[in-house]
Amino acid sequence: MKKGNVRTDFPFFESNPSLVWLDSAATTQKPKCVIDALTEFYNKYNSNVFRGEYPASDEATRIYLEAKEKVARFFGASAENVVFTYNATDSLNIAAHALKDRVSAKRNVVVSVLEHNSAILPWMKICADAGAEMRYIPVKTDGSLDYDADGVIDENTCAAVVTAGSNFSGYRAPLGFVCDLFAKKNIPLIIDASQAAPHEKIDVSRLKFDFMCLSAHKMYGPMGLGVLILGKNTEVNNIYRLGGGMVNEVNKGGFAQKDGAAALEAGTPNVAGAYAFGAAIDFLSSLDLDALWDNERRLANILREELASLGANFAEGGNDPLPVVSFAFPFMHPLDMAKVLGTLGFCVRDGKHCAHIAADALGFDSTVRASLGIYNTEDDISAFIEKIKYLKGKYGR
Amino acid sequence: MEDKLISPLAARLFEIDNELDRFDFLAMTALGAPSLEKSELTEENRLVSCETKTWYRLDFDGAVRLTVESDSLFVKGLCVVLAEIAALGDKKTLLRGIGFADECFDRGIVSDARRRGLLSLENEIKKYIKSVTEGDTK
């Protein structure tokens, strides 16, 4: 099991030696094995899957299914319950659509205020169309979610969406507790694990939920591939995307969809992306992830402490946040700070981070967000703090 | 920009190679520009599709006068440059296309998100010119 610095596995840093990447919540850099896998697929295996009777198509199908097995194993799921989608947003839309028939007037859908827009917007539309109410789980003063808040979850709640980790504040949800809370009330639950999955072990075999959504490119895999993991008892109804590959039979009278998760993959999938994500999973599985995740946490804590000493205001993320540090200084607008940091070689994000309701709930118009990955080092954090000090000296008078 | 909708500030902005110097230039431009009154910082005057809080007012005295306030110096600086372009351009040319946002994007001065914010302000300017031309200022 590989320990220590993994930075040399990422060609991006060799190509861009002067850049400090602190935008892993937006996308992670890719290890060489993932980049090689993308090329290898097109060089050696390129064929469509589930369609041809020739060996190359069989081989492409085999490696596609093998990638699905790898992802399933990594998350403790059954491969039959793993769906490859186009991104986490796609997964969240498919999941919302699958549950939309439960929504009607006088019923409500519960989401947390910390959700990404991609988790909220499908439900806004579904609720508006059905005349149903959207209810929001609020945040406490420490930035954690108040799942017991009065007047949110009740007997008319027909679906819920909760983040496993906030991309705005880094808040990390107690997933076991959250899953039990909704399972006990028989409320279908969608978990958005896009941000948490790259930073902690998620074992879905221990969790009760209906859909879990995540993104390959946020966990060192390629862009253009999302994952949707179905719960053990999830029924696949109300298919969002119809087309080739998801049906057993079609005639003028109608069609018969495939059973289970297979019905959720219409059209040609991103086979190269799946193959490359399999390589990412192999890469992650070869690492001492607990040690690397502890290091991310340690670096994020150093960053918070140093920024606090310089007078930063934080979007609080509870007592054990993800390595996502969202902050603002009174002396410089986050956009201006991110822009200048960018010119100095520090890649951070500014704004509301596609989580407008979270920004409102946490009391920020905009923040600078520094988000870490397994390749970040103490030198990155030191250099970043030095630049913040420089900016404070230059613009903070 | 094809039709030379350019201004002294825009020319200076485009001359600066160093990004940090460019930020400083825009910050100084913003700080030296007139502000809106506090009473004008209303939702009605907010620039839609700009992620920062940015407000604007358009007037016409033979030329278009754009006054901007923003909580971002970078954004305000860009808007002040755009204001000069709008003030110096004739109506017909401005209506044909201002092109400042795209030019800034092409030169790597703004991200696509900021380009969209600037573009929405360019569109507001064009709408205002049309309304002035039609004798209706609001």
The top-level CATH class assigned to B8-133 is alpha beta
Domain parsing of chain B, residue ranges: 8-133
A344 contacts B51? CB cut-off 8 A: no
Query: Is any Cβ of chain A less than 8 angstroms from the Cβ of B11?
Result: no
Domain boundary among A240, A258, A285: A285
Helix (H) or strand (E) holding A368: strand A367-371
What one-letter code names the amino acid at A80?
Answer: E
A153: domain CATH number is: 3.40.640.10
CB proximity list for A98: less than 8 A, separation 6 or greater: A211, A234, A236, A237, A238, A239, A240
Q: What pLDDT was estimated at residue B6?
A: 77
Q: Which residues of B touch A365 (CB under 8 A)?
A: 52-53, 71
Radius of gyration of chain A (CA): 22
| pLDDT score at B135 | 59
Query: How does strand A247-251 pair with strand A226-230?
Result: unpaired
User: Does one domain contain both A216 and A233?
Assistant: yes
Cβ–Cβ of B51/A351 closer than 8 Å? yes
Catalytic residues of A: 354
Dihedrals phi, psi of A268, to nearest 5 degrees: -70, 125
pLDDT of residue B5: 65
* Nearest by CB: B73 against A336, A352, A366: A336
Same domain, A16 and A113: no
Q: Residues 361 to 380 of A: which have CB under 8 A from any B CB?
A: 365-366
Same domain assignment for residues A97 and A184 = yes
B70-110 pLDDT tens trace: 999 999 999 999 999 999 988 888 898 889 999 999 999 99
Alpha helices in chain A (DSSP H): 11-15, 32-40, 55-75, 88-99, 117-130, 175-184, 271-285, 289-309, 334-343, 356-362, 378-395
> How distant is the Cα of A366 from the closest Cα of chain B, in angstroms?
8
Nearest CB to A339: which of B53, B71, B74?
Answer: B74
pLDDT of A1 reads 73
Confidence (pLDDT) at B138: 45
A282 secondary structure, DSSP code: H
Tens-digit pLDDT profile for residues A65-97: 999 999 999 999 999 999 999 999 999 999 999
Name the A residues in 319-358 with CB < 8 Å from any B CB.
Answer: 333, 335-336, 339-340, 342-344, 351-352
Q: Tell me, what's the pLDDT at B89?
A: 86
Residues from chain B contacting residue A344 (CB–CB below 8 Å): 20
Q: Does B36 touch chain A (CB under 8 A)?
A: no
Decide if pLDDT at B2 tops 70: no
- The token pair at A135 is 């209810």
Q: Kindly list the residues from chain B whose CB atom is less than 8 angstroms away from the CB atom of residue A364.
A: none
Question: Do residues A261 and A345 both lie within one domain?
Answer: no
Q: Does B48 reach chain A within 8 Å, measured CB to CB?
A: no
Q: Is A208 on the interface with B (CB under 8 A)?
A: no
Residues A181 and A265 in one domain: yes
Residues of chain A where predicted confidence (pLDDT) is lower than 70? 3, 397
In the predicted model, what is the mean pLDDT of residues B28-54? 90
pTM above 0.90, yes or no: yes
pLDDT at A288: 97
Q: Is A60 within 8 Å of A206 (Cβ atoms)?
A: no
A1 within domain boundaries: no
User: Closest Cα partner for A191 from A270, A176, A239?
Assistant: A176
Cα Rg of chain B, angstroms:
14
Does residue B1 register a pLDDT over 80?
Answer: no
> Do A339 and A278 share a structural domain?
no
Q: Are residues A68 and A161 in the same domain?
A: yes
Chain A residue closest in CA terms to B18: A343
Q: Give yes or no: residues A210 and A277 share one domain.
A: yes
Cβ of B21 under 8 Å from any chain A Cβ?
no
Interface of B with A in 74-113 (CB under 8 A): 74-75, 113
Write out the residue range of the structural domain in which residue A138 sits.
35-285
Mean pLDDT of chain A, nearest integer: 96
Sort out which chain A residues have CB atoms less than 8 A from B51's CB and list them: 335, 351-352, 366
